[in-house]
Amino acid sequence: MNILLASTSTLFGGNYLEYIKSEIAELFTGIDEIVFIPFARPGGISHDEYTKVAKEFFAQLHIQVKGLHEFENQIAAVNEAKGFFTGGGNTFLLVKTLHEKNLMQTVKENVESGKPYLGTSAGSNIGGLNMKTTNDMPIVYPPSFECMGLVPFNINPHYLDPNPDLKHNGETRETRIKEFLTQNDTKVIGLREGNWIRRIGNRITVEGNEMTRIFEKDKEPYEIKSGTVL
Amino acid sequence: MNILLASTSTLFGGNYLEYIKSEIAELFTGIDEIVFIPFARPGGISHDEYTKVAKEFFAQLHIQVKGLHEFENQIAAVNEAKGFFTGGGNTFLLVKTLHEKNLMQTVKENVESGKPYLGTSAGSNIGGLNMKTTNDMPIVYPPSFECMGLVPFNINPHYLDPNPDLKHNGETRETRIKEFLTQNDTKVIGLREGNWIRRIGNRITVEGNEMTRIFEKDKEPYEIKSGTVL
């Protein structure tokens, strides 16, 4: 497998996918066309508008982008694609759409056969076992929370450390993930912005400039360095 | 109906339910015993431990508290209760438990018959039409997102304004609620900490020290003052 799951598409003050451009070029080596999965629709943007954003970035890498929504037979489009990029937005909307169109399993099988896959934010969540560690609001009801399991754990993208200055009693991210672990045994990778997970064959590593926080049942959370094998 | 739905149980630096003690006393006037619904289990706390926290607070008001989990026949316990308090924690866990035990509809009918209801955080979310505007992590999969609809809108508790100093690209609360409105027509009450919704009969007002932010489809969000009728 050949997979890159990034915490975010855009670093603060940066441009879309800029910080990870060379890694994306490497991921899609030898590929001139990919399918973009726009269903997470950040801020309710249309599928066409969202695909345009991806197209503009990939033009710099001389890779053509087609939006999956443009195809009449989307299952065939996935089976014929050379590679995939799923953008961020709302994970509930993304997962609902993929399940309703029977695309979750089809994309999974194609990626497991070796086609490169790029995910950012919600697009990374669906690379995990399930979407139960998303940060998103449940704006729609998906028929299932199960995802592709391209990696044998869950991801929490945009992982955010507690802010000691915040005079607010909503739960911290760490509290939420610990609540998840009271109900589930699945390991959770708290992926800070600027970090990503890379899978090449069976080797899975965390990459990027920040430390990565790992949450496991009945263990204190711990930090691992960039390059560590998961 | 006689309902109080609070954004939070505890203000920053304050004690449990302290800021709203006189309103709670008024809500439960003439009542010496209530049923506590502990199923949201904040931080994975046990039902017993959580009920103990509620008991200690209500002892000050000379009101006895029984945890709903203590009853063998929980539907009968709800039907025989004099009033209800549902505490915060994880909304997905709360809603899943209530639906699986067929309690959502039973509590709704009892509150609609006039029994007083207090909710905080997740306990307020379930007073809305559905749980699609919770902030919580989807740590379990409920059979439905539908809630009691004790008020004809949705609530976003712990409503938090965007922080201009945050160098982070996760979505703001406002972005999330706007995404909800691209998929739903339901009005959302962004309830800042320190505020609550009060329903007496058919009159519904927002109360507390802060302004309240209202989100409606195809409208700019707007602010209303404490005391405004919803």
| Close Cβ partners of B30 (under 8 Å, ≥ 6 residues apart) | none
Kindly state whether A114 is in contact with chain B, defined as any CB-CB distance less than 8 angstroms.
Answer: no
Contact state of A140 with B133 under an 8 Å Cβ cutoff:
no
Q: Residue B71, Cβ neighbours under 10 Å: how many?
A: 15
Q: Which residue of B has its CA nearest to A186?
A: B139
Q: For the segment B51-99, what is each residue's pLDDT rounded down to a tens digit?
A: 999 999 999 999 999 999 999 999 999 999 999 999 999 999 999 999 9
Q: How far is A24 from chain B (nearest CA, A)?
A: 20
For residue B169, what pLDDT is reported? 65
Which domains does chain B carry?
2-224 (3.40.50.880)
For residue A95, what pLDDT is reported? 98
Question: B190: closest CA among B106, B134, B137?
Answer: B134
Q: For the segment A110-121, what is each residue's pLDDT rounded down to a tens digit?
A: 999 999 999 999
pLDDT-based confidence at residue A169 (cuts at 50, 70, 90)? low
Mean pLDDT of B106-115: 98
Strand A117-120 relative to strand A188-192, pairing: unpaired
Q: Are the beta carbons of B62 and B21 closer than 8 angstroms?
A: no
B-facing residues of A in 37-76 (CB < 8 A) are 41-44
Q: For the segment B8-66, what is each residue's pLDDT rounded down to a tens digit?
A: 999 988 999 999 999 999 999 999 999 999 999 998 899 999 999 999 999 999 999 99
Tell me how far apart the 2 most distant CA atoms of chain A are, in Å: 52
Q: For the segment A115-153, what is each residue's pLDDT rounded down to a tens digit?
A: 999 999 999 999 999 999 999 999 999 999 999 999 999
pLDDT, greater one: B222 or A169:
B222
